Structure 1
Amino acid sequence: MSVDLQQFVSGLRARWKFSAVTFILGLAATAAILAVWTPQYGSSVKLFISTPTGGQAEFAASFIVTQRVASYSDLATDPSVLQGVVDRLDLDMTFEELAGRVTSSVVVGTQTIQIDTTAPTPEMAQQIAEAEAAELVDLVTRLERPADPNGVAAIAARVAGEPSFSDQPVSPNIPITIGVGVLLSLFIAIAGAVLKDLLDRTVKSRHDVEAITGNAVLSTLPYDPQVKKDPLTAETEGPLSEAFRVLRTNMQYANLDARRHAILVSSAVPNEGKTMVATNLALSMAQAGRSVLLIDADMRNPNVAERLGLENSVGIVTVLVGRSTIDEAIQPHPSGVRFMGTGPMPPNPAEVLETQAMRDLLSTLRDRYDTVIIDAPPMLPVADASILITEVDGALLLVRHGSTTREQLRLAVSRVEAVGGRLFGVVLNRTPRRSPDTYGYGYGYGYGYGVTEKEPPAPKFGGRGRRARR
């Protein structure tokens, strides 16, 4: 399957809800149209145009008949004829409205004019056809009247028979209307999904991430609505906790030469899930037997302490100003993770993070723990993360599926490169269950995720940016 076809199928799969709703609305609209569509009944009548004279005159007139038939067929819908029908039947409509109910045509290869009419009732359709035929006969008689009062008209029109009568409506044609409605709804559903996908500038796949960043997607985190109630998913079992174990494993390949790791977790913009990822990655690494320190460095919006049920009144700021020691600022968590909060919010967080005292603090903490994970502010709104990234081994960049735009991701990567930082890779968060990028793990927890038959290929790390100084 070609790349274009894969993207087409992927777009439809990602927007199946939009397509389904659009298709259902189309069917509902078709049903509504049929419900309010007033049935129309039809009737038809034929007029025969002939040459009533005999002999040589009739022979000459026959050459004219074929030309006159077309002319009288056109005159059947002339305003004067239509107005005559309205007056004859005393119809509650104008001749313009009647014109939409009357058609006239020449039967091919004959001298016959067929008049077709429609009306809300079969009786009315028959009456209009009869009156239309009578008006056209009168028109032919009037136009073909000879100059000599005793002469005979060269051409005459006669009604070939009684107008037809049928109690079966000619419109709507229910099977055809339903068929057209189904096909049109299906087309709009598919075309709308494809167009919506083409106009969507958000990141929705591994391909998008790798094309923009040049780095691997270290893990795709499936969307789980239970995260709001229980944010510490790494302590439970299920596809999301398994995704964090995949992330933990992949992180071991990110810096093979280093015995200790300092990892910055950030995102391009707020609300991408960086705090959830930093917290659960720390828990997952602690489960693997590593000594882990989780630092909340988002002094503008600290919330790691709340997730862990710990205190944020002591932390980085209290250590830097000498109000507490490092040991006093580090709090234990039942999972085995150690935690350091932000402490009181300073007037200018960027200036605090840029001090030599902060660099010395991070250097000291790195020597104490196997892994130091820093929950940093988003890259684009403030400079805090750009300052911190030079003091760690590398960064994890959070991207929220269908929310982070490609331009935001591109700018965030540029920020990392501009300061000489290293990007370990990207975590694609909140991927939909039916996304081809969401790997299943086969544990049968009832989440509905598909099971892959083999593990995804090992990613290539550190594709862009210089390694940060140690």
Structure 2
Amino acid sequence: MSFRECLHVIAARWLLVTVCALLGLAVAVGVIFGVEPKYKSETTLFMASRATDMQNAYQGSLLSEQKAKSYVALLGSQRLSEEVSRSVPVPMRPEEISEKITASVKQDTVLVTAIVTDSSPHRAQMIARAVGEQFVALVADLESPSSQEPPTVTAKIVQPATLQTQPVSPDPARYASYGLLLGLLVGGATAFLRNALDTSVVSTEQLIALTGLPNLGTVMYDAKAPSKPLIVHDHTHAPRAEAIRQIRTNLQYLDPDNPASLIALTSSVPSEGKTTTLCNLAIASAQAGANVAVVEADLRRPRCSNYLGIERSVGLTSVLVGRVPLTEALQSWGGLLSVLSSGPTPPNPSEMLASRHMKELLASLREKFDLVLIDTPPLLPVADAAVVAAHCDGALVVVQHGRTKQAQVKSALDSLSGVGVRVFGTVVNMAPAARANYYYRYVEDSPTRSAHRFWLGKNKPNRKASVPSS
């Protein structure tokens, strides 16, 4: 994985990384306030040797350095802890005292430092003072060959025990930085793990490599889409509207010599935005001068008529059973395009869509319109879409970014290829804004511009009309 791909993973899952970092920081803050503060007090001792001349002074100095290293271990000994426990006014066991004492010797010196850590600054100072006094007495006792001779090495206190009111632990800055860093590391690792385990479609490049089909457009996510689905008409210059027009333009160049007039729009699973895409694509195509019809062939969960505000009591099923002629069932949407709603819900949708009457109806629509867009159910739950697409020039598959699994896309395409359906390409829907490329964002799309070259190369008049208030 390249550095740029790593950045894409982090950027795509920035919320996860941020949450983990904040959790790490919160844990660090909890530790800071939950851990008992510790204070330290230290005393410094000087190890001196008895010498009478220069040579003995040099040898004594070396002896003092060697002794200083040895006496560091003595500061944590049981004997010294027992002496200190007897000398302090607070009852304490020798084991408790030895756990609080740490000692060190400065390199190439005879200075020994004893550090006492305790939850009370005053108690730490009291113990450190007692450690210094008892250590001096203990060294004098150990270094005296007899009571008549002076000790060869003596210890002297050069820095008395200090009182420090600032705790040495926990260190808020250090704990917070460690917590934040750990949270970032966990968040980054989780992001890469989820990316490795994620089998959904997360880029157009991945989708093209998976399907071998062109991606005709990428429509960005918009939280207002459910309440305002007809973005092409309501907000003509919005990025999503430009993306729909890009899909419309790409469709006309797929096969200029044999332009498609019957196109089924479908998806792998429900809620991928195929119906919204179809409605906007139909409006954009009609605005470019094409004679467009929309057929609501999703007889199980019809949504197209709801988005367009079309009455559904009479429609496709009414025509298929012979109750109403096609010309009477077609409804005009503001004079811009024609809509054939689903009609009454039948008990056998698959059989009706696979019937000879459905094939003849589509043939009649081909003769009347430049472009017929057919809204079909998802491919994986039911076989309706494959049945309808088999009567069309081809199909367009809508894929939701970050939700549709790669295996679902493959299964959907296999079901179409199994009945010999040509798939024109894919449309990535609900993509993050950073993933959507809008090359025509600042170009106003004129309904009259290149309209005569759009569908079937016909000179079609521009059909401008007001849209119904619904």
Question: TM-score, normalising length from structure 1?
Answer: 0.79
Whole-Å Cα distance in 1 between the matches of residues 79 and 360 of structure 2?
100
Are 1:402 and 2:402 an aligned pair?
Answer: yes
Matching residue of 1:4 = 2
3-state SS of 2:430 partner: strand
Counterpart of 2:14, as a letter, is W
Q: CA RMSD in A?
A: 3.7
Matching residue of 1:16 = 14
Q: CA deviation at 1:424?
A: 1.1
Whole-Å Cα distance in 1 between the matches of residues 349 and 75 of structure 2?
87
3-state SS of 2:404 partner: coil
Are 1:41 and 2:20 an aligned pair?
Answer: no
Are 1:204 and 2:209 an aligned pair?
Answer: no
Distance 1:378 1:120, change over 3 A: same
Are 1:130 and 2:129 an aligned pair?
Answer: yes
Matching residue of 1:261 = 261
3-state SS of 1:270 partner: coil
Q: After alignment, is 273-282 or 168-177 more displaced?
A: 168-177
Matching residue of 1:163 = 161
3-state SS of 1:225 partner: coil
Distance 1:327 1:86, change over 3 A: farther
Counterpart of 1:230, as a letter, is K
Distance 1:84 1:276, change over 3 A: farther
Matching residue of 2:273 = 273
Q: Deviations over 1:246-302 (max 9, x none)?
A: 111111112322355111111111111011111111111121222222112222211
Distance 1:267 1:44, change over 3 A: same
Whole-Å Cα distance in 2 between the matches of residues 402 and 328 of structure 1?
42
Are 1:427 and 2:420 an aligned pair?
Answer: no
Gaps of 5+ in 1: 446-470
Counterpart of 1:104, as a letter, is A
Q: After alignment, is 406-415 or 301-310 more displaced?
A: 406-415
Distance 1:255 1:170, change over 3 A: same
- Decide whether the 8 Å contact of 1:239 with 1:440 is kept in 2: no
Q: CA deviation at 1:405?
A: 2.1
Count of residue pairs the alignment pairs up: 441
Q: CA deviation at 1:313?
A: 2.9
Q: After alignment, is 293-302 or 42-51 more displaced?
A: 42-51
Q: After alignment, is 182-191 or 342-351 more displaced?
A: 182-191
Whole-Å Cα distance in 1 between the matches of residues 25 and 33 of structure 2?
12
Matching residue of 2:375 = 375
Gaps of 5+ in 2: 445-470
3-state SS of 2:277 partner: helix
Whole-Å Cα distance in 1 between the matches of residues 174 and 3 of structure 2?
31
Are 1:364 and 2:361 an aligned pair?
Answer: no
Whole-Å Cα distance in 2 between the matches of residues 385 and 97 of structure 1?
79
3-state SS of 1:342 partner: coil
Matching residue of 2:455 = none
3-state SS of 2:104 partner: strand
Q: After alignment, is 31-40 or 274-283 more displaced?
A: 31-40
Distance 1:69 1:215, change over 3 A: same
Are 1:219 and 2:221 an aligned pair?
Answer: no
Distance 1:338 1:168, change over 3 A: same
3-state SS of 2:436 partner: coil
3-state SS of 1:360 partner: helix
Are 1:336 and 2:341 an aligned pair?
Answer: no
Whole-Å Cα distance in 2 between the matches of residues 61 and 267 of structure 1?
91
Counterpart of 1:128, as a letter, is I
Whole-Å Cα distance in 1 between the matches of residues 340 and 361 of structure 2?
12
Counterpart of 1:239, as a letter, is P
Whole-Å Cα distance in 1 between the matches of residues 389 and 94 of structure 2?
81
Q: After alignment, is 351-360 or 245-254 more displaced?
A: 351-360
Q: Deviations over 1:385-410 (max 9, x none)?
A: 22222221221111112211222223
Matching residue of 2:114 = 115
- Decide whether the 8 Å contact of 1:103 with 1:117 is kept in 2: yes
- Decide whether the 8 Å contact of 2:252 with 2:259 is kept in 1: no
Whole-Å Cα distance in 2 between the matches of residues 296 and 393 of structure 1?
17
Whole-Å Cα distance in 2 between the matches of residues 378 and 83 of structure 1?
82
Whole-Å Cα distance in 1 between the matches of residues 125 and 69 of structure 2?
23
Distance 1:366 1:130, change over 3 A: same
- Decide whether the 8 Å contact of 1:287 with 1:335 is kept in 2: no
Matching residue of 2:462 = none
Q: CA deviation at 1:427?
A: 0.9
Question: TM-score, normalising length from structure 2?
Answer: 0.79
Counterpart of 1:130, as a letter, is R
Distance 1:118 1:337, change over 3 A: same
Question: Identity over the aligned pairs, expressed in percent?
Answer: 35
- Decide whether the 8 Å contact of 1:317 with 1:344 is kept in 2: yes
3-state SS of 1:366 partner: helix
Counterpart of 2:392, as a letter, is V
